[in-house]
Amino acid sequence: MEALYLLCSIMSTSLTSLLLSLLLPLRLLFRRLSTQSAVCGGEEAVSLYQGAVWHERRRPLHHSFRYAVRYALIDLDHAPRAPPDHLSADQARSAAETNGPVFLLTIPPSVGYEQNPLSLYYCYDVEGSTCNLRKCIAEDMLGNWSIRTKAPGDSIFVAISVQHPNLGDYFTATLRAKRISLLENDYALFFWLMPHKVALWIYWHALKLWWKGVPFIQHPRYSNPEYRHEALIRDSKLTCPQGIHNDLPHEGSGSDSVKGMNGRNRCFTWRDAKWPWC
Q: Is residue 274 part of a domain?
A: yes
- 162, 197, 213 - which closes a domain: 213
121 and 231, same domain (yes or no): no
3 in a structural domain? no
Domain boundary among 196, 213, 230: 213
Question: What confidence tier does 69 reach under pLDDT thresholds 50, 70, 90?
Answer: very high
Residues 62 and 137 in one domain: yes
The answer to whether 76 and 98 are in contact (CB under 8 A) is no
- Report the predicted TM-score, pTM, of the whole model to 2 decimal places: 0.73
Same domain, 255 and 117: no
Q: Within this chain, do residues 149 and 243 fall inside the same structural domain, yes or no? A: no
Q: 2 in a domain, yes or no?
A: no
**Same domain assignment for residues 224 and 207:** no
> 154 and 225 share a domain?
no
pLDDT digit string (tens) for 120-171? 999 999 988 888 999 888 867 666 778 888 899 999 999 998 887 777 788 8
For residue 92, give Cα distances in angstroms to 36, 108, 247, 278. Answer: 28, 18, 12, 28
Q: Residue 259's pLDDT is what?
A: 41
pLDDT per residue as tens digits for the range 232-277: 777 666 554 443 443 333 333 444 444 433 444 444 555 555 554 4
Are residues 146 and 170 located together in one domain of the fold? yes
Where does the pLDDT of residue 34 fall: very low under 50, low under 70, confident under 90, or very high at 90 and above?
low
Lowest mean pLDDT among 7-11, 61-65, 104-108, 110-114: 7-11
- What is the largest distance, in Å, between two alpha-carbon atoms of the chain? 60
Concatenating the DSSP letter of every residue in the chain gives: -HHHHHHHHHHHHHHHHHHHHHHHHHHHHHHHHSSS-SSTTSGGGEEEEEEEEEEEE-SSS-EEEEEEEEEEEEETTT-SSPPTTS--HHHHHHHHT--S-EEEEE---BTTB---S--EEEEEEEETTEEEEEEEEE---SSEEEEEE---SSEEEEEEEEEETTTEEEEEEEEEEEEE---GGGHHHHTTTHHHHHHHHHHHHHHHHHHTTPPP---HHHH-TTHHHHHHHHHHT--PPTTTTTTS--TTEEEEEEE-TTS-EEEEEEEPPPTT--
Give domain status of residue 22, yes or no: no
> 62 and 184 share a domain?
yes
Query: Are 68 and 190 within one domain?
Result: yes
Q: Give residue 251's pLDDT.
A: 35
Q: What is the pLDDT of residue 33?
A: 65
With respect to residue 58, please indicate whether it lies within any of the assigned structural domains.
Answer: yes
17 part of a folded domain: no
- Domain residues for 258? 220-278
Last residue of a domain, one of 181, 213, 245: 213
Residue 48 CA to residue 147 CA, distance in Å, equals: 21
Calpha distance 210→212 (Å, rounded): 5
Is the same domain home to 92 and 159?
Answer: yes
CA dist 150 → 122, 154, 207, 224 (Å): 9, 11, 33, 39
Q: How many folded domains does the chain comprise?
A: 2
The pLDDT assigned to 181 comes to: 83
Do 151 and 224 belong together in one domain?
no
Q: Is residue 15 in some structural domain?
A: no
Query: Which neighbouring-strand residues pair with 72?
Result: 48, 106
Residue 42 has a pLDDT of 42
The whole-angstrom distance between residue 182's C-alpha and the CA centroid of its chain comes to 23
Q: Is residue 250 part of a domain?
A: yes
State whether 208 and 250 are in the same domain.
Answer: no
